[in-house]
A and B are shown apart, each in its own frame.
Chain A
């Protein structure tokens, strides 16, 4: 399973890199979609169908909206502007320092990652005692057959209420910013 996960992750990285460097906005959006739907496959492989359903729906809605916006505006990205040319000269002058910093940070991160994973359990096994209490006693305590919903709305109900409030706040913020009447 880890080999399949690695292949999907490599595809996601390629899609993200292509989205950064694509000249056509529509192809950049579609490669963004590769990242999102690759994440859906990862969730399904890791046995998290709840997350996979949410991710696939939200990804589809976001892609539909972004494609509608792109088709409605100018599709091609503007050609190289003055700022970009300035950035290019800066990069050329400081390229060596940038590469050095990147390599050093990468080595430090890899070393600390190797130190951190030596005491971990094998992939997919839970570590916390709390998760065992949820796994074996959750269904009896909440009466919900789907354990994820039981945790979300019973043990972590206050958390879920906060998430719903975040959506409410987002809607109010959009309504406040995008009004024309009453704003001068």
Chain B
């Protein structure tokens, strides 16, 4: 897969980091403002996808990235399951029990385990979408050889 022109490359370099930061903001403020793990993860995946589309498959060594994102995705969902089943050990025997202190409503650090779940789901969604795109690109590269 070829890259695009140098104008597109430069603008993508400038914008991609800001889109990534916006995704992180959406994820970490998921329990305060609209948004959350799914939306923020999709935004982060978009910031990586436009990099791949603008620079092409060769310059970023796509195969290694695919391994990394696949492992990240699997670890994120495993951590999500572990955090959820940790409530079975601590205190009450309820799956998905909110076992951390809730804090003051409206603070950034509040709502117990919900921000942690948000972050893990965000990592999972971003890595899964990015893995799917990279799998398509690698398949096309291997077919065209």
Contact = CB atoms under 8 A, between A and B. Distances in A.
Contact of A149 (B31, B103, B125): B31
Given A154-B96, A160-B121, A149 B106 contact: no
B131 to A, nearest CB: 5
Contacts of B36: 50, 146, 148-149, 152
B95 A61 contact: no
B80 interface: yes
Contacts of B124: 164, 167-168
A144 B70 contact: no
B128 A171 contact: yes
B135 A160 contact: no
A175 B118 contact: no
Interface size class of B (residues with CB under 8 A): 35 or more
B74 interface: yes
Contacts of A178: 135-136, 138-139
Given A142-B102, A146-B30, A171-B132, A164 B125 contact: yes
Interface string B45-81: 1100110010000000000000000100110010011
Contact of A145 (B73, B74, B106, B138): B106
B33 interface: yes
Given A54-B42, A61-B129, A157 B139 contact: no
A49 to B, nearest CB: 4
A170 B49 CA distance: 18
Contacts of A161: 80-81, 84, 96
B128 A167 contact: yes
Interface residues of A, number: 42
B117 A153 contact: yes
B114 A150 contact: yes
Contacts of B103: 143
B141 to A, nearest CB: 10
Contacts of A174: 131-132, 135-136
15 contacts: A57-B46, A64-B50, A65-B49, A72-B1, A144-B32, A153-B113, A157-B96, A157-B117, A158-B95, A161-B81, A165-B77, A167-B128, A167-B129, A168-B128, A178-B135
Interface of B: 1, 26, 30-36, 38-39, 42-43, 45-46, 49-50, 53, 70, 73-74, 77, 80-81, 84, 95-96, 98, 102-103, 105-106, 110-114, 117-118, 121, 124-125, 127-129, 131-133, 135-136, 138-139, 142-143
Which 8 A-B residue pairs are closest in the complex by CB-CB distance? A143-B102, A157-B96, A49-B34, A144-B111, A144-B31, A178-B139, A57-B42, A143-B111
Interface of A: 49-50, 52-54, 57-58, 60-61, 64-65, 68, 72, 139-140, 142-146, 148-150, 152-154, 157-158, 160-161, 163-165, 167-168, 170-171, 174-175, 178-180
